[in-house]
A and B are shown apart, each in its own frame.
Chain A
Amino acid sequence: MNNRLINWFKFASPQSFYPLAGRMIPWFWALTAAFGVAGLWISFFVAPTDAQQGEGYRIIFIHVPASWMSMFIYCIMAGWAGLGLVFNTRLSGMMASALAPTGALMAFLSLWTGALWGKPMWGAWWVWDARLTSELILFFLYIGFIALQAAIDDPRRADKAGAILALVGVVNVPIIYFSVKWWNTLHQGSTINLTKAPSMAQTMLWGMLLMALCFWMYSIAVALMRARAIILERETHTEWVKQLDEVKS
């Protein structure tokens, strides 16, 4: 253990993670603002109008990053939950609960912007196709995770129960991602693929990727802030929390 460059387990303790997170948060906020300004500028002023959808397609600059994040945050949340179950580290559970509200927000944004786009483009706010339904289930999984943790008073038991729910729900993520490939859906197939060139104009792609980075940075910043708040709440009884400047004053 000692011959490693960084001892990762050191940061698994809330006491050393708390100040580290505090130092990182401003940087992630700065990056959120930088990517957000660049992304929105390209989205609104540089990216051309779409040949078929006109200006309405610009919803993708929010919709696609939000959908990606909703799936990705769930994977990270389940990863933390799994770590917590295996290693019994306290920070893992806190990180999982810190991520859940942001994930729920992303899933909601994805469903909501999708509905706003669906009405003029498809002709329906909502269709029970595989993609939309599985994304709705993802939203319910987030809400269920938050509710389950809130219902159990003992934080360690709440972490454990939440972790099991998060891990069970993780099967839904590949279902969302591949739903447009596996079944006939109204939702179109993916534009961005790992295996072929994206079928979209270059500037549109840039706008979308910058917005995705902005959402990433925002999610990290918010999750770290929430994690710090959870640490303070759960570790109030410890000596190091009582010594903190922000607690003493």
Chain B
Amino acid sequence: MKPRHKRFAIVAGGIVAIGISAALVLNALDSNIALYVTPSEIAAGKAPKDKAFRIGGMVKEGSIKRDGVTVNFVVTDTVKEIPVAYTGILPDLFKEGKGAVVQGKLGPDGKFTASEVLAKHDENYMPPAAQDAVDQAQKAQKTLKP
């Protein structure tokens, strides 16, 4: 074994060791790294109690109701739903049927009072004409089903 082979073995071994330890640490921290919990996880009792946290999900279609400066809407992951109340300015991309992350506290009545609302953008980029075509196709499919 030449010295440079030995050095290569040390470098490669070191990287593997660091990689494994990083994987173990990240695995242990898993729930703390997640930015938000989903409504299903809240239903399963995974949400922190008496502490501010974030919920992520879709804004349910037809659920946005404005009451003065307060906005009420429902965040859903298509299985469970959480009603949310928020007072303040909403980001441009906040829309029904789109992703959102809300930060705040869960009340005892199961209603979430948000202090911050963030819009979550999806990874799709397309011009308005293409978006229209997609919407039309989805609408057509919906009307055909029943």
B11-A200 in contact (CB<8A): no
Binary CB contact string for chain A from 38 to 60 against chain B (1 if under 8 A, 0 otherwise): 00000000001111110001001
Interface of B is mostly: mixed
Please measure, in the bound complex, the distance between the C-alpha atom of A175 and the C-alpha atom of B117, giving whole angstroms. Answer: 26
Binary CB contact string for chain A from 181 to 195 against chain B (1 if under 8 A, 0 otherwise): 011111011110000
Interface centre among A127, A186, A199 (most CB of B within 10 A): A186
How many chain A residues have a CB neighbour from B under 8 Å? Answer: 40
- Known pairs A51-B130, A183-B30, A186-B101; A168 contacts B35 (CB<8 A): no
Please measure, in the bound complex, the distance between the C-alpha atom of A199 and the C-alpha atom of B22, giving whole angstroms. Answer: 31
Which residues in A have their C-beta under 8 angstroms from that of B128?
A: 48-49, 51
Binary CB contact string for chain A from 163 to 203 against chain B (1 if under 8 A, 0 otherwise): 00001101100010000001111101111000000011100
From A52, A186, A199, B35 is in contact (CB under 8 Å) with A186
Q: Is A86 an interface residue (CB 8 A)?
A: yes
A204-B125 in contact (CB<8A): yes
Which residues in B have their C-beta under 8 angstroms from that of A128?
A: 35
The chain A residue sitting closest to B101, CB to CB, is A186
Shortest CB-to-CB span from B38 to chain A, Å, is: 8
A184-B35 in contact (CB<8A): yes
Please measure, in the bound complex, the distance between the C-alpha atom of A235 and the C-alpha atom of B42, giving whole angstroms. Answer: 64
Q: Is A37 an interface residue (CB 8 A)?
A: no
- Known pairs A82-B11, A200-B125; A123 contacts B119 (CB<8 A): yes
Binary CB contact string for chain B from 28 to 58 against chain A (1 if under 8 A, 0 otherwise): 0010011111100000000000000000100
Please measure, in the bound complex, the distance between the C-alpha atom of A188 and the C-alpha atom of B99, giving whole angstroms. Answer: 10
Task: Find residues 78-121 in chain A having any chain B CB closer than 8 Å to their own CB.
Answer: 82, 85-88, 120-121
Q: Is A152 an interface residue (CB 8 A)?
A: no
Binary CB contact string for chain B from 81 to 115 against chain A (1 if under 8 A, 0 otherwise): 00000000111111100100100000000000000
The chain A residue sitting closest to B3, CB to CB, is A88
Which residues in A have their C-beta under 8 angstroms from that of B130?
A: 51, 201
Q: Kindly list 10 other residue pairs between chains A and B, CB separation below 8 angstroms, not including A50-B126, A121-B91.
A: A49-B127, A49-B128, A124-B116, A129-B35, A130-B33, A171-B15, A175-B22, A183-B33, A199-B125, A200-B124
